[in-house]
Chains A and B, each alone.
Chain A
Amino acid sequence: MQADIETATTTALPQGHLVQHRFGDRAFKWLTLLMALAVFALIFLIGSELWRGSHLALRKFGWRFLFSKDWNPVSEQFGALPFIFGTLVSSLIALLIAVPVSIASAVFLTELAPKWLRQPLITFIELLAAVPSVILGLWGVFVMVPWLREHLYPGPVYGVSMLAGGIIIAIMIVPIITSVSREILRSVPGLQREAAYALGATRWEVTRIAVLSYAKKGLFGAVILGLGRALGETMAVTMVIGNRPEIAASLFAPGYTLASVVANEFTEATTDIYLNALFEIGLVLLGVTILVNAIARLLLRTFGGAGVKAQP
């Protein structure tokens, strides 16, 4: 670099100097571009590997795969319905539990909390976000499930159940819904709040009128984002949901999710068709997750929703 500066200041830049710069610049630019495009390469790889890995099953079962209830490695009959059911139901339970609580917490943290309480609570919620799925599952299977069995469940049951799965997923998605909701609420313009205050509204009324209705769309996006996270949740669910590929009417019966069946049975898939079926489950899961996340991003793009139209 020293040499460059000297050259630059003592003589007019010689041709070779410029060319050398240009090469270095171009090479670096292409290098970084290549790395950035790795994103697309990864997406392509994921899609293509899942597709290739499941082609046997795709050919054999076709669309029936999504609607068939049998999951029988022995007779080589594979259907994804129990897992789709399990994923949907457990995610739904998780949303029912997590959404009201998360949004209420976000409201508290941005609008109603006294200043000294805010940061500690936020820190705790971020800590919760850092807890790995497997540790939460550990607590779930050794603490939560026995407690549920003793205190909540009617009659003799295993303890591991769809409900337990839903609860544990709820715990995992609360941090993300809360933090995204907080961002959304914070982005509501202060002018809206002032308008409500100036009318003599109480703090809660200001929140209700000026903040929550303004942020409706964004909050919904936060919920969908939480759903996307819930769909892909694997370890904690596997440890508490019971892992039985059945569609049962009771929430207290064991269930099975798309992610769990792959986690449990992947290394034991002895036949090609078995492995392909699992890959196909992965494909279904990928498709659903990407779709849900895309919807969430769309909703969150106009961060906070109802913008004020600029008119002459």
Chain B
Amino acid sequence: MPNEETRSCIVLGSRLLQSSFRLLQSHMTAPNHNWRKFKNSFMQALTLACALFVIAPLGLVFYHLVKSGVGSVNWDFFTKLPKPVGEVGGGMANAIVGTFVLLGIAACVGVPVGVLGGVYLSEYGSSRLNGWIRFGADVLNGVPSIIWGMVVYALVVIPMKGFSAWAGGMVLGMMMIPFIMRTTEEVLQLVPNGYREAALALGIAQWRAIVQIVVRTALKGIITGVLLALARVSGETAPLLFTAFGNQFWAHKLTQPIAALPLQIFSYAISPYDDWHRQAWAGALVLLLLITAINVTVRVLTRDRIHKNP
């Protein structure tokens, strides 16, 4: 029961409100109603305009890529080596192959470390240590790609006394590690605990349970994480500038410098030759198609997952 004071307050307030109770019913729509409606529509239009403005560069880039590049994406482009400086013609065969070689090496470096690290984060580990590891992964994700290049230069190129495909693959692989670790952890966390418990209850060793049951269940998610990481690093140029370095010819050994699409695009773009400019556009188109293909594959693979509302 409220005390007397509160009671009288309520009564007083109610009387006051009664006596000054001017129902807005006399002009039901508040006087500023139309202004509010206008503001509402205006803000909707303004933010829509911003959203369109945001995707405009994408449209422009795509348009120019197709306009300037599609003519040059021909059989020569995929099969021929670059011609000597100044000569017209030739292709980017070595750069295309080189990109795949580098991605292959990167996967060999990044996937084991990343996936196994993710397994640790998800299946073992104390929450304190895991917190620090995740924090470290976040820090690594924020390191500019060019710094990765400098570090691998010091670690690999100098001891090997030269640029090489190994160095290029290593730097890309290292860059992938934090990303793969996090995505693997996330995906493994989604596997219901029931599976783990059922496996252990059967007397299966924990490590086997993890590898053969949990990881196997989450395999699709892990693969998509790896694919996304590959898509990201396939476009990286800066770290390759002083690790893979680029090559106008085929790299016959992995200890030699190797060409890569982004590197080739860059050096052609800043060169003074029109023909190389044309090929740079073609290279960019092919690179973007590669990245888009990987992304679309990922989308298709994850399509039967439950989608969150946008």
Contact = CB atoms under 8 A, between A and B. Distances in A.
Direct contact, A vs B (beta carbon within 8 Å)? yes
Interface of A: 1, 4-5, 7-9, 13, 20-21, 24-25, 27-29, 31-33, 35-40, 42-43, 45-46, 49-50, 52-53, 100-102, 104-105, 107-109, 112-113, 118-119, 121-122, 124-125, 127-128, 130-139, 141-143, 171, 174, 178, 202-205, 207, 228-229, 231-235, 239, 259, 262-263, 266-267, 278-279, 282, 285-286, 289-290, 293-294, 297
B47 A107 contact: yes
Chain B, interface residues (CB within 8 Å), range: 35 or more
Contacts of A282: 146-147, 150
A1 B142 CA distance: 43
A207 to B, nearest CB: 8
B117 A290 contact: no
Given A234-B144, A290-B143, A39 B178 contact: yes
A44 B98 CA distance: 30
A112 B44 contact: yes
A42 B177 contact: yes
B154 A53 contact: yes
Given A202-B39, A239-B269, A108 B51 contact: yes
A185 B166 CA distance: 43
Given A36-B117, A38-B113, A50 B150 contact: yes
Given A105-B47, A128-B57, A289 B205 contact: no
A35 B120 contact: yes
B287 interface: yes
Majority-rule SS of B interface residues: helix
B46 interface: yes
A33 B203 CA distance: 24
B306 to A, nearest CB: 15
B281 interface: yes
Nearest to A101: B50
Highest count of chain A CB atoms <10 Å: which of B118, B178, B231, B269? B269
A136 B150 CA distance: 23
B117 A239 contact: no
Given A32-B117, A104-B50, A234-B238, A286 B143 contact: yes
B265 interface: yes
B147 A46 contact: yes
Nearest to B205: A21
Interface string B143-160: 111111111011100000
B223 interface: no
Interface in B251-274: 262, 265-266, 269-270
Given A50-B151, A234-B145, A138 B284 contact: yes
6 contacts: A53-B150, A112-B47, A118-B310, A119-B310, A130-B235, A259-B144
B113 A35 contact: yes
A232 B281 contact: no
B137 A39 contact: yes
Highest count of chain A CB atoms <10 Å: which of B118, B151, B262? B151
Interface in B103-125: 112-114, 116-121, 123-125
B186 interface: no
Given A142-B277, A285-B147, A297 B138 contact: yes
Highest count of chain A CB atoms <10 Å: which of B39, B206, B310? B310
